[in-house]
Structure formats: structure tokens, C-alpha cells
Structure 1
Amino acid sequence: MGSPHVIAIPYPAQGHVIPLMELALCLANQGIRVTFVNTEFDHERIIKSLSNEQNVSDMMQLVSIPDGSETWNDRKDAGKLILSIIQVMPGKMESLIEKINQSENDQITCLIADESMGWALEIAKKMGIRAAAFWPVAASVLALKLSIPKLIDDGIIDTTGAVLKNQMVQLSPTMPAMKPEHFVWACIGDLALQRIVFDVMSGTNRIVKLADWVICNTSDELEVGALTLYPKILPIGPLLASHRLGKSVGSFWPEDSDCLAWLDKQPEQSVIYVAFGSLTIFDQTQFSELALGLELCNKPFLWVVRQDLTAEAENAYPKGFKDRMEGRGRVASWVPQQQVLSHPSLACFLSHCGWNSTIEGLSNGVPFLCWPYFADQFLNQSYICDVWKIGLGFERDANGIIPREEIKNKIEKLLNVGDYKERAMDLQAKVLNGVKKDGISDENFNNFVKWIKDDKNHSCYGQS
């Protein structure tokens, strides 16, 4: 047996790939060999978007296996993608490990799987490989998932995840109360997709017990309630490229790095950064209202508009908007977000509140304007607005639209009223302490590395 060799597999979504790839690079910096497994579709996108100066392939081996989907449209159907992953990827993953293990000095000694890919933990168990589950979003979402049996017992939901009692639910006194309609599985797509997601989440509750470690991209300062409720969830975050003095990797799209030079020309703490992650979709009316709201606020802005953010994105802007905003506003299709958020010109982050965006923003002391779209984003907004008090949400009108005046007013309130920036900077200092030497996240990560390197130690919990 040679030196430690980790194989890592994320769930194939942008918000899952980036943090696990960051963890893999941190392990590589510790002298651990890493094979990182993406789907063929995502692997191709990531390879295309890597810039020449990013020596990722020098640090770890990037490989791929099929996800079972034939077309891009199949992957847009989340339910179809989940089912094809479950049907196709386990066999492909097992074959890949068997192929690698043919080399006596290169055998896989540890598997790290996104908890949403729990079937990979079963493969590790079957093949006698030690395993860790990685949870890339808030520990509170994992706590919610692990609480599914109790929610069923309490009559809040039924065995399909459908809401029976529409009352506020608080898993612990130090966690925000949740509306059942905002449970992760309850605010994703149509009823069929909600049931598929719920079944997968319920199923992985059983499988995660096979993992020797359950590690999470969070900090004890952020989620003490969830981490106290489920002490086996160990925080090792925030996982940021700046902590290993590198650039973020794993992007599905090429990044417009020229926006950094544009930011250099803006006054300190003046720019509104607007970005909605990789999955948010806007209708034409809401897209126009957002554009006009940014125009009304009369401040410089950097707005990330993915090609599929709205139908016919190029023609979706209000008439004359781009001409009027020339010089004051910059639109980009995708940006190096961690570098943008650390830029001194940034005033605030208008965000969908995905966990990566949330943890990247608060790690840079940036206050938030919250515009959640689905899944865990509503819970993240609760933390931002109600627990940490570093941001504000928006109110929708009778038609479910956030109007331009509401956007303008909330931007002005965030920047001019209250202590949002001060609280954001206080939270930043506390969170970053965790990844400094002897901080809780740092200690957990170092213990994890020791466990990977020590093949005599089979579990951090004394499990077989």
C-alpha cells in the first residue's frame, strides 16, 4: 500500500462542486493524493473554464464518469437527473475504483462523497474503503434532514414530505424558526420533484451512518444550534481559496476577470454586487424591475447575468437601460466571485443566498440584500436577516413581484440606516478565527488529515 489516496465525488451542481474541490485542494496541499470525480458533462465544463495559471491538474487528478443523461435538456430536469445518477453512477464509480486499485501503490484509501451522493458511501463500505461524508451547505439544512423522522412523528409532514401542519418549526432554541413550506424539499419544483428530493434525503439519513466522518463547510460561530443538536457534524469551513492563497476553482463557466479592473476604478464601498448563482430563473417582468431598481439607486453596480437567467437575456433589458448605465453599471456573464467579494469597492451583495455565496460574503464582511429562489436559500436568509442581522429581505407586491422602488429603498436602508456593515465585519472576524491556527475548523481539518494519513485508525467515532 502506498501513501494515502483519496477519491472525492460531488453532487453535479455548481454549489456542490466548488466547495468539495476546495477541500480536495486543501488535502493536496497536505501531501495527500486526490482523484476528483465529476460527471463527464461537468468535467468538460470545468476543464474549459480553468485559466492557464490554475495548476489544478498538477495538484490532483481530474477524472469523470457518465451521469446517465443524454442531453442538456435532461439535466435541466432535476428529477430525471437525480434518477439517472442513482441508476448509472454507482456502477461506474465502482468500476473506476477497481481500475485504480489495480495498481498496488496507488490504491484508494479513503472516499469523500457529497452527502447527497450517499450511494458512494455504500460502495466504500462494500469495497472496504474508509469514508467521509461532506456536506457543502449549512449544517442547519443537514440538521433539518436528519430531523425528518421526528417531523413525521410530530405530524408536521407525512412520509412523502408533504406538509400536514403549516406551523413554524424550530429544531433548537438557537436555530431560526422555519416555515414548513420553506423546508428544502418543499420549495423545489413541482410535486413530483419534491417527492424525489425528499426520498433521496430520507434515504441518505440511513446511509450517512456508514461514514466515519461527517464534515461541513460551516463554522461553529455561524451555526452553534445545529452543531450542538447534531455534534457528529464537524465544521471545517469556511473553505475559501484565499486560505490556501489560491484562486477559486470548479467554475462551470469562464469567468470575466476584467470586472476586477473595473472594480479598481470605483470608490471604496460603493458598488452593489448582484448575483443569483447558477440556477435562479427570472421572468421578464421581474428582470426589468430589478434593472430599473438598480438604475433608480444611482450607485455603481456589477450584475452577473447568466445566459439563461431569463428568456432571451440579451433582449430582456428595459429599453435604453444599457446606454443609460454605460460607465456606472457593468454586466458580466460570470465572475470570480470570491475575488469580487473581497474587493474594497464593494458596498453590499444582492444575492440569492446560496450557501457558497452566503459564506463567501460574510467571510469578507459584506452586508446582504436577500432574494432567495429555492431549496436552502430561505433558511440562509433567516440566518442573514434574523440571526446574524447582516442583511435585509425584500417585500413582494400583490403580483409576487419585487418592484423597483422596493429594491431602491432596501439598498438605501442597508447602506445608510443601522449597523449592518459593522455587524458583518464583526461576524467576519469571528468566522475567520475558526480557520486560523488552533481554531475549531482548523483543528477539525487537521484531525481529518491525520485520520486520512493514519491507516491504522478506522473511525473518529469508534465505529467499525
Structure 2
Amino acid sequence: MPASFFTPLYSHHYSKYLGAFVDEIPITNINNDLTRWIQSKPDDTIVYSAFGSTSIIPYERMYNLINGLANFLLEEDDSSILLAFRNVNYDTYQTVLANLNDDEFRKILKNEDRVRIENGFVQQKWILQHNQIKIFLSHCGMGSALEALYYNKPLLCMPFCLDQFSNAIAIDNLDVGQSLFVPPSLWQSLIKPYDFAKYTFTAASVTNKLLAMWSNVLYKEAAERMSLEMKYAGGVKQAVKEIEFFVHLGGDLDRFTPFSSTLPFYQRYMFDLLFVFIVLPGTIFLYICFKCCKRRQKSKID
């Protein structure tokens, strides 16, 4: 994930950044219980949580996650949570719910007006389009992360594998979200290079990070800026135009070679200017100094 999705300059005329390939066709005419539940909420009041189709949440993480979410609901009276669990994660959630020690947590999690549980596939893009969604709690796969940012949603990351960890770090560094994964120190990485995926977090960290994102508008503003950059780059529509343009030109873009690429290497990297304005004057100056010193030494000897 680049530091900024908008890259106005390109190093090669056959390379061009086109942004995220997000299907921009709106999903409409959905009318079910989930639709009515989301649309019954005020804007910016829902934390939407989904973790992909293959991620499996261990019991300890699920326990801390659910406790943290329950505490967040108690802290923010106007908030609601939509949890989309698939496969074994739904069973793990039910086990955690049954084993909660805090009756107040269990009560609020069973409040269907505040908490919605979906067991199975949900239309994620359709959900993220809604203004009611304020934060996306995600595994931060590239597809989910790009969809969230495309629709101006800050992310709270809970990565599981592969690129999800680097995505989580990038999202945290770009201030478009936070991450429950804290990168290990360099020393820890050297000693146990593969243990980073076994990271843990506390219920308090879940609550605190959500509260910080909930109250700080800078996360929303950063996500909106990145969304604008992605949309300005063009995405799928621009990709179609570029491909058609390439085909019409017979696959030859050499006429669009940047001027800098036509220069000799010493001009491209300004070695000629370096020589004329720094090396040559410096050499002359040192030569004059050397001659002056040598003349003084000769005068002293005489």
C-alpha cells in the first residue's frame, strides 16, 4: 500500500497508477432485516466488523475482542455494532458470549437494537456505502481495506496472515485507522521471525482504539482524502480507457517517452551540472590553494 494513492508522476511511460479497482456500481433494491436495521440508525453510529471468508479467530482473541466491543458500547450510548461472522467464528462467538463474566456485557451484547450478528455472507460493499457506518473493524485484506477507504471509512485492523500485517501497519502510519497488531521490535523479529502472527491484544486496547477513532475526526478526514485520491486516479473506468488507447495505438507508446528518458545518463542524473558547478570549481580552488601554499613554503626556505 503506497504512502499516498495519488502518484502524479511515473517513472516509465508504460507504467501508470490507476487507483483501486473497486466496482462502483451501487447495490440497490435490497430489503431485508439487515437493511432495515442499518437504515434505522443515525449517520456515523455503527461499527461494522467483518474478517473475511477464511480467517479463523482464536478463542483468546475473540474473548478480548468481544469484551472490548461490549465495553465500547457501554462507553458510547449512541453506538451500535454489526458483527459478520462466518464458519467457525460464529460458534466461537457464541462460546465467548456464554462464558462472559460480566452480566452487563452479556446484556448489551444480547440487545438486538445495539448489536446485530450476521452468520454468513453479507454484501460488504453495500454496507460500506451507508453513511451509518463510521468505523470498519477488519482483517485488512487488500480488497476490504481498499473498499473501506474508497467509501471513506477508517479502519481498525485485526490482521491474520500474509499482506494483512503490512496493510495494517500502512493504515496505522497513514492515520486512516489503527491496528490491534503492534509490530514487534527488531530484536524480537530477529529472534523469532515468524511469531509476529501470534500476536495478542487486550480488551482495553480494543475499547481505547475504538474510542480514539470515534471521537477524532482526523481519521475520517484522512480516509476522505485517500478516497478522493483513489477516485481521481480513475480505477476501473480509467483502466478501460487506457487499454483502449493502448490498443488503438497498436501497442506502441514510445512516442510518449518522457523527455528525461531520452537524455544520456550523465544528463539524466545531472552529472554534467555537478561537474561544471561543483567538481570543476572545487578542483580549481584546491589547485590555487595548493600553489599558494607551495609558494609560501618556498619563500620561507629562501
Query: Which TM bucket (shorter chain)?
Result: 0.5 to 0.7
Say which structure is richer in helix. 2
The one-letter code matched in structure 1 to 2:71 is L
The one-letter code matched in structure 2 to 1:336 is Q
**Does residue 261 of the first structure (1) align with residue 42 of the second (2)?**
no
- Give the counterpart of 1:449 among 244, 256, 280: 244
Between the aligned partners of 1:391 and 1:418, the Cα distance in structure 2 is 11
Unmatched segments (≥5 aa) in structure 2 = 74-78, 101-105, 183-197, 256-302
Between the aligned partners of 2:92 and 2:13, the Cα distance in structure 1 is 45
**Does residue 419 of the first structure (1) align with residue 218 of the second (2)?**
yes
Between the aligned partners of 1:313 and 1:228, the Cα distance in structure 2 is 48
CA, structure 1 residues 232+450, in 2 after alignment: closer, same or farther (shift >3 Å)?
Answer: closer
Match of 1:284 in 2: 59
* Counterpart secondary structure, 1:309: helix
The one-letter code matched in structure 2 to 1:328 is R
Give the deviation of 1:381 after TM superposition.
1.7
1:14-413 correspondence to structure 2 within 5 Å: 138=1, 221-222=4-5, 224=7, 232-242=14-24, 245-247=25-27, 258-298=33-73, 299-309=79-89, 312-313=91-92, 315-319=94-98, 321=106, 324-332=110-118, 333-386=120-173, 388-394=174-180, 400-413=199-212
Q: Which has the larger radius of gyration?
A: 2
* Counterpart secondary structure, 1:273: strand
Between the aligned partners of 1:415 and 1:264, the Cα distance in structure 2 is 20
CA, structure 1 residues 389+228, in 2 after alignment: closer, same or farther (shift >3 Å)?
Answer: farther
Q: CA RMSD in A?
A: 3.3
Between the aligned partners of 1:349 and 1:444, the Cα distance in structure 2 is 28
CA, structure 1 residues 420+315, in 2 after alignment: closer, same or farther (shift >3 Å)?
Answer: closer
- Map Cα deviations across residues 71-106 of structure 1 (whole Å, 9 max, x no partner): xxxxxxxxxxxxxxxxxxxxxxxxxxxxxxxxxxxx
Give the deviation of 1:427 after TM superposition.
2.1
The one-letter code matched in structure 2 to 1:368 is L
* Counterpart secondary structure, 1:269: coil
Between the aligned partners of 2:134 and 2:35, the Cα distance in structure 1 is 15
TM-score by length of 1: 0.43
Give the deviation of 1:241 after TM superposition.
2.6
The answer on whether the counterparts of 1:367 and 1:420 sit within 8 Å (CA) in structure 2 is yes
Unmatched segments (≥5 aa) in structure 1 = 1-137, 141-174, 176-220, 249-254
- Map Cα deviations across residues 109-156 of structure 1 (whole Å, 9 max, x no partner): xxxxxxxxxxxxxxxxxxxxxxxxxxxxx5x6xxxxxxxxxxxxxxxx
CA, structure 1 residues 315+423, in 2 after alignment: closer, same or farther (shift >3 Å)?
Answer: closer
Query: Looking at both structures, which has the greater relative contact order when contacts are Cα pairs under 8 Å and sequence separation is at least 6?
Result: 2
CA, structure 1 residues 228+278, in 2 after alignment: closer, same or farther (shift >3 Å)?
Answer: farther
Between the aligned partners of 1:257 and 1:459, the Cα distance in structure 2 is 51
Between the aligned partners of 2:221 and 2:136, the Cα distance in structure 1 is 15
TM-score by length of 2: 0.64
Between the aligned partners of 1:230 and 1:291, the Cα distance in structure 2 is 48
Aligned identity (percent) is 22
Match of 2:76 in 1: none
The answer on whether the counterparts of 2:138 and 2:144 sit within 8 Å (CA) in structure 1 is yes
Give the deviation of 1:394 after TM superposition.
1.9
